[in-house]
Each structure stands twice: as C-alpha cells, then as structure tokens.
Chains A and B, each alone.
Chain A
Amino acid sequence: MKTIESIQGKTIPLNRADVDTDQIMPKQFLKRIERSGYGPFAFYEWRKEESFVLNDSNYTGAPIMLAQQNFGCGSSREHAVWGLEDIGVQAILAPSFADIFRNNCSKVGLLTIVLDQSDIDYLMSRAEELPDSQVRIDLSSQTVKLEGSDWQRSFEIDPFVKHRLLNGLDDIGITMQYEDEISNYESSRSSKKPDTSSAFEDTMKVG
C-alpha cells in the first residue's frame, strides 16, 4: 500500500445523501475477477445523466470527493472503493460513512474524513461555485484547509489507521507478526466449536 502524507487538489461535490455502493459500482461489473480497471464503471448509471457531477470537466482529475451523510451504505463490495481509486479519488470528506465501506477504504489506502455537516455544506457550495478551489488535507496534523483562505478544520482518525496510512503498511503483514498470539489462542480454543471438514463429504439428509 502506498503512503499518504498530504493530498491537495480540487474537490468533487457529490451532493446526495445515502449514496449506496450499488450506485458507486453496479452489480454487472462485480463479475470481473481482476483487481484493477473499475474506474470506467464507477457511478455507471448516474453518469448517464448529463448534469451528473462526474461529467463536469471542471472536476476532472480531482483527488478529493465531497459527499453527504451515510456515504457508501449497502453492499460490502470493495469494488466500489476500487472504482473510486481508479478515477483518482484519494480522499472522501463526508458528515458520515457506512462502516463496511469506510473499513474497505482504509484497507485500500483511501482516506475517509468526517467533518461537521455545516463544514461539508460549506465546502460543497464552494466547490460548486468555484470548482478550482483547492483543498489540502494533511494527515499527520489531521487538518483540512481551504487554500487561499483561513478556513481550516481538524479531523479525528483512528490512530492505528493513521499509522498504517502514513507508513503504507500492509494490514496482513502486521497481523502476521502476532503469529504466537494466534497460535496460543487456537490451542486454547474450545474443541467444541464446529469445523467444516465434514463439508467435503455429502452429509445431506433429506426429509
């Protein structure tokens, strides 16, 4: 995973609440077994609306997305995050995120930042009126700044996620350092817990 220190650029104002992952990445594109190349399919249906913000060339290449409450709700499909990553989104600012989506973002290295509704609304209107507005996110100081103004906010982030993103650490690699703890847990784990070994046999009884 690549490291994140700061992100600066234009912002895409996606001014809709409860955007679900079915909208971000429709089902027909989940049949692909590849990990890359999802960008062209992100918001596939909404992009058919001419007025949709991603069709506005003013925002082309913007690394920051502004979203409304409960962004990324619904299906756990990480393909949604891969799609956003592939169109160049490196950070999303919203009043709230759905849990699984936010988790997926943190694994992929896409920064999710929660700001107050009034702050999001302010940035949203700025981005709509002045698409060239530049926002700068600094991860180590946990600040979001509107360039060319004195508007600045700090944000909260899980310290462990911050540490991983700043250092580009692979989550699995970190867990594998705890091999002894995992083995210890397994040796003391109840033998009464079920396993799936019998699933290889045809155990089905009908009726």
Chain B
Amino acid sequence: MDVKKTIIEKIWEQHIVRSHTGEPDLLYIDLHLVHEVTSPQAFEALRLTDRPVRRPDLTLATVDHNVPTQGRDLPNPDPLSTKQIETMQKNAAEFGIPLWDIFDTRQGVVHIIAPEHGLTQPGMTIVCGDSHTSTHGAFGSLAFGIGTSEVEHVLATQTLPQVPPETMSVEVTGSLSPGVTSKDVILAIIRRMGVDGGVGRVIEYRGELIESLSMEARMTVCNMTIEAGARAGLIAPDEVTFEYLKGRSMAPQGEAWDAAVKDWSSLKTDNGAEFDHSIVLNGSEIEPHVTWGTTPAQSVPISGRVPGPEDFTTAAGKETAERALTYMDLESGQRIEDINIDRVFIGSCTNGRIEDLREAASVLKGKRISETVKAMVVPGSGPVKIQAEAEGLDSIFKNAGFEWRDPGCSMCLGMNPDILLPGERSASTSNRNFEGRQGAGGRTHLVSPTMAAAAAVAGHFVDIREI
C-alpha cells in the first residue's frame, strides 16, 4: 500500500533538489517575492561576489513597507525611505527583476499583490523576506518568511537548504457565528497555541469551518500563522481556491488551466495520513476577539475582561502579564468594552483586502466616527483601492470620518509616517501588538475589520454582535 502523506510532505518532496543524510534538504523555490526593506544588503552581497540573480523570471519585487500613503506626488520628506525605495528600483533594473513600483497601479502589500493576480498557486514553494509570507499558504502552497541572508541565497541559487518541519493539523469544526470573522478564528487559534506553540512546525488548517471560508478569509488565517511561531500554515486547495484563481491574469489559461486543476487536486492530505501534532477547536464557540497585551496570544473575547497576573500559574506567566498590563496601561478585571481608543487602522496584509473593506464599510454606512478617534483605511494594493472606489466604499469611509490612503504596509509596522504617538491606543486590523510596533509607546489592540469599524464609531470597543 502507498504511504499516506500530508499536503505538507507532498509539496516538500516535489521540491527537493538534493537530499543527503545529515544535511538539510535543498528545496527549489517557485516564487521569490522581494521588497525594499529586507533586500538591499542581499543585492549588495551579490554585487560584491559577482553573482547574478539565477531566476529573475521567478522573482517579483514591489515597494510596500516604508512607502508614504499620502502625498506620493510630492517629494518624500524622509531621505532614508527615499534612498531605500531608489535602491529597490536600481537593484531591480540592474538584476532584471520585474518591479511593481510606487506609481504602478499593481503596487501594494507584497502578500496581497501576488494572490490577486493569480501568481500564488497551489503546490508552490514561495518565500519572501517577510514573516507574513505564510499568507500564500491559503492557496495550498508552502510559503514562509526568510531573513536577508536567505534572500541572497534564493536570489543566487533559487534554492534554500531547509530542515524538514514537523507537521501539525489545526482542525476547526463547526461554523462561524454571526459577527465572527476569520480574524477572530486565527486569534483564537493563537491564544490556544501560544506564541511559540508552532515552533519547528508547518500547520495545515482543516475542518468544516476552514473549508467554509472565502479565499480572502483563508489568507487572514494563514497570514498570522507566524504569530503562533509556526514556520508556515496552509489550507488544501479546493473549489473555492480554483474559483478564485480562474481567469486571473497570471493563472493558467485554457488547456493549461484544466491540467493545473488536475495537479492541484492531488495535493490534499491523503485519508489516514498522520500528523506529528494535532489540535481541534470548536469554531462555533469562537467569539469576536480583542488582544489586551503585547503578544498576539494575549487576547480575550469581546465579552470578557482584561486578565491579571493572578490568572496565570507560572512565575514567568505572571511577570509577562504584569509587564503587558503596565505597558498597555490597563487594569486587571477591566471590561474590554470599557477600553477607549484614540486611533483606528484598517489595512495590512492581514486585513487589507476588498472583502475586509466591504465588511468594515458595512458597519460604517451612514455613521460618523467618534470625535475622539482618528481613523484611516489603507487599501492593501492598487487593485483593492480601485475596486473599493468603484463600489463607493471610499465615500462611505470618508463620510464616516476615515482618511482614505494609498496602498502600503503603513501603520501595521509604522515604518512610514503613519504611526501612533506615545500613549495613543489603537484598534488595529493588523497582526502584531508588540511594544512600540505601531510607534514607540503606542498601544495596539488587534481586532477584525468590523470590530475596528464599530470601535471607531463608539470610541471604545463594542460587541459587533450587538450592533
């Protein structure tokens, strides 16, 4: 009888260039996404060693991390940012790599642009010098973040030495309750696993609830895999995947499409294949989540209260909670709904796609945000922005008092001028609530787009299910 395999093992085996006992496997990389922040030193090293880029035709670059989201037609006031963007332009030109540059309508957050053109496809290996590369796993590809030395390695050889991961099944049963989104599902998963529960592992998300999600919602789940410490997270391709890809400009067309679907359909985990680890969550019980601390695992349902050191058993747990409460300026036992916010950010590779903007806009239609709140929407890409404007979403946001910006990573990591001021508190649809993540001294609460929109209106967190 054939050996039963998981989708993770199947993709891995299909990409082994060389395998030798006592050494990592050498894996072939199907797609290398490049951006301005983690690549300059890699290109410089290629120059110093006189090495070309082996496969510019399997490489795509954009600028997203530090680009301004307004006033792009004006000179960029930040000379370092300007230099980094110009360096990306120069490197792309010199090494023959396509670049979706700042004035290209296709420019956007690197993990949004590849899927929306159909470039991210099932069964591929995809890397990028960015930890949220796991987003692409939503299509049933093995996609993971790498550092700059590895960026250089892939540019030079189109391969990466990698130690095989442990496999993990994260099954979510049931269905989404009203008001609950895939962002709440992944926050619940991370809360359950802890920020290091996935170290050394690749996750396959499975189960009824996962299968019921749209492609964009699946991307939100896979996107935050790294926040549970896992190397990658993926979802087996199915009809939802194929329907999303069909007709996109870089997806296979005609006969090639039929052949591709046949190949992709064979990727799913064999019945009876064993995972090294597995957990099951009852998805029907998941409520809208809000993070209260300084790691993405520190979240509670909106109906809950801020926990305190007394809720943790270990000395380290108590200390971590105490430090997080101090940084976040919260009291143990405080109701989540009583937390007032100053800023709202809707966007990022986690929640900057068209469905996210539609959901947020549906909450904001005909409403005004609180006078104490400053809010912004940063579409994830040029096409997302154009689509949203065609649907009139921009007017809904602007009429509600939101700023409508140009695409980029923006306040998710605050490399451009979009930052929190010290002490400011945000409701953010992004992926990290680390100390200072959105600006030194800023306090971040991670939520779904609808929860962020509702908080913008109320000036504090509210239960979206009661609106």
- Decide: A31 near B415, CB < 8 A? Known: A75-B131, A195-B57: yes
Is the C-beta of A78 less than 8 angstroms from some C-beta in chain B?
Answer: yes
- Within 1-48 of A, Cβ neighbours of B (below 8 Å) are at 16-18, 20, 22-23, 26-28, 30-35, 45
Contact between chains at A176 and B148 (CB < 8 Å): no
Contact between chains at A78 and B149 (CB < 8 Å): yes
Bound Cα distance from A176 to B316, whole angstroms: 45
Contact between chains at B249 and A81 (CB < 8 Å): no
Is the C-beta of B58 less than 8 angstroms from some C-beta in chain A?
Answer: yes
Q: Closest approach, in angstroms, between the C-beta of B443 and any C-beta of chain A?
A: 14
Contact between chains at A99 and B200 (CB < 8 Å): yes
Bound Cα distance from A186 to B49, whole angstroms: 24
List 23 contacting pairs A-B, 8 Å CB cutoff, sorted by A.
A20-B295, A31-B80, A31-B81, A45-B435, A45-B440, A73-B196, A74-B434, A78-B41, A78-B147, A78-B149, A96-B199, A99-B200, A99-B231, A104-B149, A107-B153, A171-B149, A172-B156, A175-B153, A185-B28, A193-B30, A193-B124, A203-B249, A206-B386
Mark B38-69 against chain A: 1 for CB-CB distance below 8 A, else 0: 10110011000101000011111000011000
Q: Closest approach, in angstroms, between the C-beta of A1 and any C-beta of chain B?
A: 10
Contact between chains at B80 and A98 (CB < 8 Å): no
Contacts of B65 in A (CB 8 A): 30
- Within 232-275 of B, Cβ neighbours of A (below 8 Å) are at 249-252, 256, 259-260, 263
Bound Cα distance from A205 to B81, whole angstroms: 30
Contacts of A194 in B (CB 8 A): 30-31, 118-119, 121, 124, 250-252
Contact between chains at B80 and A32 (CB < 8 Å): yes
Is the C-beta of B100 less than 8 angstroms from some C-beta in chain A?
Answer: yes
Contact between chains at A196 and B119 (CB < 8 Å): yes
Is the C-beta of A77 less than 8 angstroms from some C-beta in chain B?
Answer: yes
- Within 1-59 of B, Cβ neighbours of A (below 8 Å) are at 17-18, 22-24, 26, 28, 30-31, 37-38, 40-41, 44-45, 49, 51, 56-59
- Interface size, B (range): 35 or more
Contacts of B147 in A (CB 8 A): 76-78, 81, 100, 103-104, 107
Among the stretches B157-165, B173-181, B335-343, B369-377, the one at the interface with A is B157-165
Could you list which residues of chain B lie within 8 angstroms of chain A, going by C-beta atoms?
17-18, 22-24, 26, 28, 30-31, 37-38, 40-41, 44-45, 49, 51, 56-60, 65-66, 78, 80-81, 83-84, 87, 98, 100, 104-106, 117-119, 121, 124, 129-131, 145-150, 152-153, 156-159, 161, 163, 195-196, 199-200, 226, 229, 231, 249-252, 256, 259-260, 263, 295, 316, 319-320, 323, 382-383, 386-387, 390, 413-415, 432, 434-437, 440
Nearest CB in chain A to that of B250: its residue: A194
Contact between chains at B157 and A172 (CB < 8 Å): yes
Contacts of B196 in A (CB 8 A): 18, 69-70, 73, 96, 98
What 9 pairs between A and B have smallest CB-CB spacing? Answer: A107-B149, A199-B98, A104-B147, A78-B147, A33-B40, A70-B196, A31-B80, A78-B148, A76-B145
Q: Closest approach, in angstroms, between the C-beta of A2 and any C-beta of chain B?
A: 14
Contact between chains at B84 and A31 (CB < 8 Å): yes
Bound Cα distance from A33 to B37, whole angstroms: 8
Contacts of B24 in A (CB 8 A): 158, 160
Bound Cα distance from A195 to B148, whole angstroms: 22
Contact between chains at B60 and A196 (CB < 8 Å): yes
Q: Closest approach, in angstroms, between the C-beta of A111 and any C-beta of chain B?
A: 15
Contact between chains at B316 and A192 (CB < 8 Å): no
Q: Closest approach, in angstroms, between the C-beta of A150 and any C-beta of chain B?
A: 28
Contacts of A104 in B (CB 8 A): 147-150
- Within 53-95 of A, Cβ neighbours of B (below 8 Å) are at 68-70, 73-79, 81
Bound Cα distance from A159 to B22, whole angstroms: 6
Contact between chains at B18 and A70 (CB < 8 Å): no
Contacts of A159 in B (CB 8 A): 22-23
Contact between chains at A203 and B195 (CB < 8 Å): no
Contacts of A30 in B (CB 8 A): 37-38, 65-66, 415
Contact between chains at B17 and A185 (CB < 8 Å): yes
8 Å CB contact of A204 from B156, B252, B383: B383
Contact between chains at B434 and A22 (CB < 8 Å): yes
Bound Cα distance from A15 to B260, whole angstroms: 51
Q: Closest approach, in angstroms, between the C-beta of B67 and any C-beta of chain A?
A: 12
Bound Cα distance from A104 to B320, whole angstroms: 26
Contacts of B295 in A (CB 8 A): 18, 20
- Decide: A76 near B157, CB < 8 A? Known: A45-B436, A198-B250: no
Is the C-beta of A207 less than 8 angstroms from some C-beta in chain B?
Answer: yes
8 Å CB contact of A31 from B37, B41, B256: B37
Contact between chains at A70 and B436 (CB < 8 Å): no
Contact between chains at B434 and A196 (CB < 8 Å): no
Contact between chains at A182 and B131 (CB < 8 Å): no
Nearest CB in chain A to that of B230: its residue: A99
Contact between chains at B250 and A178 (CB < 8 Å): no
Bound Cα distance from A206 to B31, whole angstroms: 24
Q: Closest approach, in angstroms, between the C-beta of B276 and any C-beta of chain A?
A: 15
- Decide: A197 near B316, CB < 8 A? Known: A98-B196, A100-B147: no
Contact between chains at B413 and A27 (CB < 8 Å): yes
Bound Cα distance from A77 to B434, whole angstroms: 15
